[in-house]
Amino acid sequence: MADAGAPAVSRHNKPVKNSWWHKNQQSMTPWLFLAPGILFFLFYVIFPIYQSFSLSFYSWDGLGEAEYVGAYNYEELYWDDAFYTSLRNNLIWLVMYLFAIPAGLFIALFLNQTVTGIRLYKSLFFFPFVISQVVVGLVFTWFYDPTFGLLNYILGSVGIPPINVLGDENFVTYGIIVAGLWPQTAYCMILYLTGLNAVDPEQIEAGRLDGAKGLRMLWHIIIPQLRPATFIAFVVTIIGALRSFDLISVMTNGGPYGESRVLSFYMFEVALSEYGFRMGYGASIAVVLFLIMLVFIAYFLWSMYQEEKAR
Amino acid sequence: MFPTPIERTSRSWQISYQTLLPLALILWLLPLIAVAIFSFKPASDFANANYWGWPSSFKGFTNYALVFTGSDMPQYLLNSVFITVPTVIGAVALSCMTGFALGVYKFKANIWIFFMFVAGNFVPFQILMVPVRDLTLQMGLYNTITGLVLFHIAFQTGFCTLFMRNFIRALPFELIEAARVEGVAEWRIFWYIVLPLMKPAIAALSVLIFTFIWNDYFWAVVLTQGVESQPVTAGITSFNAQYRAAYHLMSAGSIVAALPPVAMFFLMQKHFIAGLTLGAVK
């Protein structure tokens, strides 16, 4: 609010240099504060998205002249078996990764007690999320190792012959996902632990009086109250599943025979590995991945918008 | 509280819960515990196939000393610090400003700019990979720490803006209005009123971004190569190639690489969890 009768001298006895600024201060300030952030973001995030889209219509080795090839890259994708393998694995990731949500809820319920040292237990359970996926990948590679891995040691003790999880095309993707579920479950667990803190004890008492307990209590009284936590868990798990790259790169490098590739890894391989620098083809794979992600992004934004409106 | 508070259950339940707790933890952390034990073993244990037995002798100091003196690990660690710290400062500073602008002012484009940051934060990295790599090359920043830092700052600004804006929106708006009535300049409102209130959010974001950036692998591989600029995540993989069968050294190296975010988490646990769960609890 600019008050019309303001003296030309401010409260600090400095003359007001620019009355235009004084009048427009409130409408201009947000833009000045936003400018650096927006420029950075446009330059490094928004503009590159547009560039990838246009690049997907070119054939380019990253150095020479880019050649316009129309929809050729997409046509090639259509006939590319490796693309379908990656797409299939992406779907497996999406579906299996969601298992982190109930698993996280289960551990959170298990730890939601007040006994001595429980705080330390909670933080130790969260451990896997804090360490890098590169390290997680290495650790699980050893865990699965067919000659000395702990997994086969355990299997052997119950009489099951060793399985080369990461060398078997039928097991490899599932093996990597299990490694990924480890930190992801820890993440969901923390979300639910915090959510459980905010659960209304009165509603629980009311439920108890109505005779609800155990699973019925969980389903009808607790889970509805955990909705915000579930929403965030869902968002981060979907994003995490579609972004999976580190574990695949570290554990199998896409193998065996490319059977553990996902779109994000295949794209990297096509564009930046020894198989050749096919930037345009890589970009078209990235566009497909982006469009899949866009479905979820649109849904998340829509939910956020509904919530904004309700405020 | 759900489930039934343990102190209200029978004695036998309490005892089984107390014994189940450490067992579950050991099972949960088994892979990590194994690596920790690996890192204390002498090389001969692996040659003699004593993988899962107890270390025949304690060689923890030797192994860790070798990681620091006999490998490039110290350089990688240093690179990680030089990448992570400026990124945290840059992204938090930028998002304090964007968050303030989007959280305090009403203007038409507000929600759309906000959604741009949120949506950008969710995109798959691969859609940015080729153009960002090319941009970095053209600016002469490929394979430099600066190139990596600039991109990280820009990208993290998306998430940080979402976080900061929601935090500022929950602050008491009356404070800002009162200051305006007093005729306080807008930037002074930011600096003297809002920023001090943002301290918990700044702390939460700083630890969170520290962990994200320290653990980043993808951009490290895309934008850098070699010892002089790569962070420890990329370093550990070349370490892996170098010491493929030296499991004791690999384990020690992995633990060294994983330690800084773990330490950060334990020191700033309250803020870390507040940061992760923002929005999850009203």
pLDDT of residue A6: 45
The Cα of B1 is separated from the nearest Cα of chain A by a number of Å equal to 6
CB contact under 8 A, A139 and B5: no
Encoded tokens for A273: 């590995």
Closest CB to A191 among B181, B187, B280:
B280
Please list every residue in chain B whose beta carbon sits closer than 8 Å to the beta carbon of residue A34.
97-98, 101-102, 113
Condensed to tens digits (0 to 9), the pLDDT of residues A162-206 reads 888 899 889 999 999 999 999 999 999 999 998 898 888 888 888
CB contact under 8 A, B113 and A124: no
CB contact under 8 A, A36 and B132: no
pLDDT of residue A304: 86
Q: Which helix (H) or strand (E) holds A68?
A: strand A67-68
CB contact under 8 A, B277 and A46: no
Q: What is d(CA B54, CA B35) in angstroms, rounded to the nearest whole number?
A: 12
Residue A1 has pLDDT above 50, yes or no: no
The Cα of A24 is separated from the nearest Cα of chain B by a number of Å equal to 11
Condensed to tens digits (0 to 9), the pLDDT of residues A47-93 reads 999 999 999 999 888 788 888 888 889 999 999 999 999 999 999 99
Q: Which residue has the higher pLDDT, B26 or B239?
A: B26
Asked if A302 is an interface residue toward chain B (Cβ–Cβ < 8 A), one would say no
CB contact under 8 A, B247 and A142: yes
Best residue of B50, B110, B130 to probe chain A, by most A CBs closer than 10 Å: B130
Q: Which helix (H) or strand (E) holds A67?
A: strand A67-68
Residue A17 has pLDDT above 70, yes or no: no
Interface size A-B, in CB pairs within 8 Å, comes to 284
pLDDT of residue A272: 86
The Cα of B63 is separated from the nearest Cα of chain A by a number of Å equal to 17
Condensed to tens digits (0 to 9), the pLDDT of residues A210-251 reads 877 788 888 888 899 899 899 989 999 999 999 999 999 999
Q: Which residue has the higher pLDDT, A253 or A64?
A: A253
Please list every residue in chain B whose beta carbon sits closer than 8 Å to the beta carbon of residue A195.
277, 280-281
Asked if B26 is an interface residue toward chain A (Cβ–Cβ < 8 A), one would say no
Sign, CA torsion A223/A228/A231/A236? negative
**How many Å separate Cα A84 from the centre of its chain?**
22
**What average pLDDT does the segment A287-310 reach?**
90
CB contact under 8 A, B127 and A243: no
Q: Which residue has the higher pLDDT, A135 or A200?
A: A135
Please list every residue in chain A whose beta carbon sits closer than 8 Å to the beta carbon of residue B130.
51-52, 55, 62, 271, 279, 282-283, 286
Asked if A257 is an interface residue toward chain B (Cβ–Cβ < 8 A), one would say no
Asked if A223 is an interface residue toward chain B (Cβ–Cβ < 8 A), one would say no
Please state which of the ranges A235-239, A305-309, B258-262 shows the lowest mean pLDDT: A305-309
Please state which of the ranges A282-291, B57-66, B94-103, B162-171 shows the lowest mean pLDDT: B57-66
Q: What is the ipTM of this complex?
A: 0.90
> Is residue A62 left, alpha or beta, with left meaning phi > 0 and alpha meaning psi from -120 to 50?
left
Q: What is d(CA B223, CA B87) in angstroms, rounded to the nearest whole number?
A: 15
Which pLDDT band, with edges at 50, 70 and 90, does B10 fall under? confident
CA angle A130, A131, A134 (to 5 degrees): 145
Backbone φ, ψ for residue A23 (5° rounding):
-75, -35
Please list every residue in chain A whose beta carbon sits closer than 8 Å to the beta carbon of residue B161.
37
Please list every residue in chain B whose beta carbon sits closer than 8 Å to the beta carbon of residue A44.
128, 132, 135, 150-151, 154-155
Give the mean pLDDT of chain A.
88
Q: Which residue has the higher pLDDT, B34 or B240?
A: B34
Closest CB to B282 among A115, A143, A228:
A228
